[in-house]
Amino acid sequence: MTLRCAYCHAEDAPLIACAACGTRVHPACRAAHGRCPTLGCHEPRCARVDRPLAPWARRAVRWLLRY
Ligand SMILES: [Zn+2]
Ligand SMILES: [Zn+2]
């Protein structure tokens, strides 16, 4: 099973998972959307990381986790 970003549907980048429903998104897409893209899920945090993140992505995750 290939994991895709639920927001932009690209596959080839580190993804983070919604803390509530597990939906995968890019840190940058998550920041752009403001919350989980899954309908009915209003989890504001995405904490679980599937792969080691690039430095820019780590900064994005830290930014997200401030909420
Ligand atoms: Zn994306
Ligand atoms: Zn969610």
The whole-number pLDDT of residue 46 equals: 56
Q: Which residues surround ligand 2, an ion (CB under 5 A)?
A: 18, 20-21, 23, 36, 38, 41, 43
CA of 41 to the centre of ligand 2 (A): 5
pTM over 0.75: no
Q: Are 63 and 45 in contact (CB under 8 A)?
A: no
The whole-number pLDDT of residue 51 equals: 55
The whole-number pLDDT of residue 66 equals: 72
pLDDT tens for 8-61 read 998 877 888 887 888 888 888 888 887 788 888 776 665 555 555 567 777 777
**What is the rounded distance in angstroms from the CA atom of residue 45 to the CA atom of residue 16?**
10
Which sequence spans correspond to the domains of the chain? 16-64
CA of 55 to the centre of ligand 2 (A): 24
The structure tokens listed for 12 are 């080839």
Q: How many CB atoms lie within 10 A of CB 54?
A: 12
CA of 32 to the centre of ligand 1 (A): 9
